[in-house]
């Protein structure tokens, strides 16, 4: 069986779709799975050993110059890659017109089919025309976690029982750094997700007092300035990471001992690595995107941003509950 996963973006959504790989291979051990994804996230998907082939697309960039020779050439190459293999199933895990169009371009094997979500779920992206663009429409509950939604779609589309266990991600950790490091994932593209600098400083000081080094990533000038201010006030033991791409950041995170972050793709990467994670929510959406199924991963906040004391207490609880194998 050869399957094609269509999940183009964004970072957090791509990461939260990764558990379907384990589910599929648990039911179909010989299945070959390819994945279509935005070019910015292609290298992260390649870190999943169970993905046979990653097909990058650049829809975001192509929209800026749709008629340029480069865009036409890249579109043609991507289309050829989609037609290179014949798929028994093409599953659109995005549920948007742009992803459904990609799914339609893939070549189907005899008896093969396309599938996607049959309806909108609360706080999940969905565009109703996809019901008419793809063949099988899988009904979804109105209120469902993002990871459970993807796992349910795969199970219903491929005809196996919906898994009831905690999601399993394909990424693994390295030997933890010494002294142990905690990544503070402060960056977010949404202003209403931000957590105050004073609270990051308070958290950082507690972590360094506990013997952790504190790492602050940055992906732009504004984040670099913010991280620099926090690190300077935390003092010794806190440092700002150089600007790096997502694969390099994932490599750094593989050696970390934990993560505290706002609701963001980087925080979801920490969950996928099975680190002790505290994810900070400033809106009531933890039920849809927060960590689930593991005592060493928790969400805090909701109707408003939590205070530093609540986050520190959650971190202490997550650290105490971390897997026994990490206690050495």
80 pLDDT above the threshold of 60: yes
> CATH classification of 2-158, choosing from 3.40.50.2300, 1.10.1780.10, 3.40.50.2000, 1.20.120.530?
3.40.50.2000
Q: Which residues contact 108 (CB under 8 A, 6 or more apart)?
A: 86, 87, 88, 90, 114
* Domains 2-158 and 181-326 fall in the same CATH topology: yes
78 pLDDT above the threshold of 90: yes
In terms of pLDDT, which residue wins out, 327 or 27? 27
Which tokens is 179 given?
A: 């002294």
Question: Around Cβ 280, how many Cβ atoms within 10 Å?
Answer: 29
Average pLDDT over residues 237-243: 97
Q: 113-168 pLDDT, tens per residue? A: 999 999 999 999 999 999 999 999 999 999 999 999 999 999 999 999 999 889 99
Average pLDDT over residues 277-300: 95
The domains of the chain are located at 2-158, 181-326
242 pLDDT above the threshold of 80: yes
**How much of the chain, in percent, has pLDDT values that exceed 70?**
99
Mean pLDDT in the chain?
Answer: 96
Please give the Cα distance from 38 to 144 (Å, whole number).
Answer: 25
Average pLDDT over residues 178-200: 94
As separate numbers, helices (DSSP H) first and strands (DSSP E) second, the chain gives 14, 12
Look at residue 325 in the predicted model and tell me its pLDDT: 60
Q: 26-75 pLDDT, tens per residue? A: 999 999 999 999 999 999 999 999 999 999 999 989 999 999 999 999 99
Nearest CA to 44 among 221, 326, 244? Answer: 244
Look at residue 192 in the predicted model and tell me its pLDDT: 85
Q: 217-235 pLDDT, tens per residue? A: 999 999 999 999 999 999 9
CA-atom Rg of the chain in angstroms: 20
209 pLDDT above the threshold of 70: yes
324 pLDDT above the threshold of 80: no
Please give the Cα distance from 231 to 184 (Å, whole number).
Answer: 10
Look at residue 326 in the predicted model and tell me its pLDDT: 47
Average pLDDT over residues 172-182: 94
327 pLDDT above the threshold of 70: no
Q: Give rounded-to-5 percent helix, strand, coil for the chain.
A: 40, 20, 40
Q: Are 89 and 158 in contact (CB under 8 A)?
A: yes
Please give the Cα distance from 248 to 227 (Å, whole number).
Answer: 18
Average pLDDT over residues 13-24: 98
Fold of 181-326: Rossmann fold (3.40.50)
In the numeric block, the tokens 């995170």 are attached to 253
């Amino acid at each position: 069986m050869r399957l094609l996963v269509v999940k183009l973006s964004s970072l957090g959504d791509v990461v939260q779709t990764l558990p379907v790989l384990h589910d599929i291979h648990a039911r179909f051990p010989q299945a070959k799975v390819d994945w279509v994804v935005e070019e910015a996230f292609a290298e992260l998907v390649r870190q999943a050993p169970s993905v046979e082939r990653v097909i990058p697309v650049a829809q975001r960039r192509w929209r800026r110059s749709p008629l340029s020779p480069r865009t036409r050439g890249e579109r043609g190459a991507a289309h050829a890659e989609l037609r290179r293999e014949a798929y028994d199933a093409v599953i659109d895990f995005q549920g948007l017109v742009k992803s459904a169009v990609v799914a339609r371009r893939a070549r189907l094997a005899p008896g093969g089919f396309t599938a996607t979500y049959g309806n909108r779920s609360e706080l999940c992206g969905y565009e109703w025309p996809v019901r008419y663009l793809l063949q099988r429409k899988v009904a979804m509950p109105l209120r469902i976690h993002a990871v459970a939604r993807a796992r349910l779609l795969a199970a219903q589309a491929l005809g196996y029982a919906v898994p009831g266990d905690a999601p399993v991600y394909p990424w693994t950790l390295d030997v933890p750094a010494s002294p142990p490091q905690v990544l503070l994932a402060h960056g977010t593209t949404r202003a209403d997700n931000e957590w105050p600098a004073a609270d990051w400083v308070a958290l950082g000081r507690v972590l360094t007092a506990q013997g952790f080094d504190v790492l602050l990533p940055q992906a732009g000038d504004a984040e670099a300035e913010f991280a620099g201010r926090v690190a300077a006030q935390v003092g010794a033991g806190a440092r700002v990471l150089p600007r790096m791409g997502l694969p390099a950041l994932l490599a750094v995170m593989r050696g970390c001992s934990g993560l505290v972050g706002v609701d963001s793709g980087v925080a979801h990467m920490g969950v996928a690595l099975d680190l002790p994670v505290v994810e900070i929510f400033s809106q009531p959406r933890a039920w849809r995107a927060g960590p689930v199924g593991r005592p060493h991963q928790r969400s805090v906040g909701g109707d408003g941003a939590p205070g530093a004391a609540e986050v520190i207490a959650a971190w202490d609880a997550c650290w105490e509950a971390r897997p026994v194998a990490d206690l050495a």
